[in-house]
Structure 1
Amino acid sequence: MSDQEPTPQVKETPPGVTLLNRREFMTLLLGGGATMVLAATLANPLDTFARQILDNPAREAHDGDPNYKWIMIIDLSKCIGCDYCVWACQATNDTTDAMRWNIRVEDQTQLGVKFHLTRPCLHCAHAPCVEVCPVGATYHRRDGLVVMDYDKCIGCRYCQTACPYNARAFNWSERTDVNPRAPEWGTPEVERRPRGVPEKCTFCIHRIDAGLAAGLMPGVDEQATPACVNVCPVNARFFGNVNDPNSTVARILRTKPTLRLREDLGTEPSVYYIPPEGLL
């Protein structure tokens, strides 16, 4: 990752880009219905320790460690819309252009402040997807992550309908295509999901579990950190254990204003946003 932050070019408002004032931007964050999205994950091939865990069937029983509470913070004032995170996520998690787990939306305030809003799965503490699943295929781990058991999933799509953030996509067909972003943006690190199940961002859970097992710390050590965080060229994404008061994410929450999407719904997302400069 480069130490020098790229400077976005100032351009005239292109056709189709919506201009938002402060109130409209706040409505979008706190109560709007617009489609929002983030981008996700560059990754190097897994090391031996990670591959061993991924190949071990017992990993499916891993329920997380309650001593950890994983959150992501995205700085909208830094994001330059490069899509590196989107492409890295596709490569690492083996998703297609039509099934992206993370999406980016470009917008601009009436004051001329350009920003890029990205949205992964928000891993809500009170997740509607978990509440509606009739077979327990979507559930919370003890570390707060919302995960899926594809063997249990019956493809009813209740979770997809219940998600207020449009964070899930349904796998309609058995894939035989080549990953569109590999190997340039990374190597697939997880198995492809079967036909007939919904998919979503996992916070690169395979890296978290493998990293902790190897004595690494997610959010600190790249091998244990979501690929989207590692690949960001302007350090606009942060990940870590908010239960640790000395972690970067805990410090940011104490010192900077942050927002979460649709807090009025009471879902308590685990993804926080630092708003564009001048809007708070």
Structure 2
Amino acid sequence: MAALILVPPGASAQAPSPLGDAVTVVGPLQPGTTPMAWSYTGLSAGVDMFERRSSQLAPGALMRYQMPKGMLPPKEKDGKLEDTTAAIAVKGWSVPLPLAPDLSFVLPPNDRAKSDGAYVVMSRRFPSGLYQHPIVSVRTPDLLPNVLRLGDLRLACEVQVRILKKDMLRERILLDAKSWFEKGPCEQDRMFDAPAQYNSITYTAGSRKQVMPASGKQLAFNAPLGDDKWPDDTLLTFELDGEPAPKLVAAPRPVQPPKPFNLPMDSQPAPLPLELLEPDLSRESLLYQEAEVIPATTHP
């Protein structure tokens, strides 16, 4: 699934720690790194936006969160790379969060996780100074791997913006201010990751077709989110030298919608990896890097 490359203006501004002191320290710090954790409430706001808008933009589509680009590789232990794990956690309890083979996940609904201020916590980390949200992936089932749907991309953009507005005060102010003077970020062209390397895209809307060649082999493309001439059902077919763009090495498997879970409040917290996280409360640890790109990539 293509991922939105959404870079808020002035993205070098400082951001508060997403963790604060909410998560228990469960392992030693990895020097020079930033915890990889996201507010459950912020991600849940994205799910709410998807549920509100999917019937208009992407009926029948599924949504999942994918890992952002920039996370550090898994640590090596005894000559083997450690497994990547995730949990929903806060002081006093934690529950494992299943990951698909491409490290994507769906967010299970739970009111207690919201009220307790829980976080989605990964066993991976960012380099110091980098903090990114997971990338929203919206995809209509049964499409070929090299085909995307424009309504899916429009909805992915709206969900991504909703998370930014929910979690990041500065980005919320900037995005709201822009709406007074120009089209919103999802009503104009946006860059997305392509499903695979390509050198042409065919747009198909009913009987209308348009081939858009690229200069050389590309991995990203500009989607016309605000162009009314291309309806939501428009299909984008990616080709490389006249053939379907090749599949990614690790194609994601379908992820079913999550079911509510019960928090095991009367039992011990689920064990987390020893070097999972320790909150870094310094402002310097969470600076947005200038013009940082936030695409999703499939990881083996």
Could you tell me the TM-score, scaled by structure 1's length?
0.25
Higher relative contact order structure (alpha carbons within 8 Å, sequence separation ≥ 6) = 2
TM-score by length of 2: 0.24
Higher helix share: 1
Structure with greater Cα Rg: 2
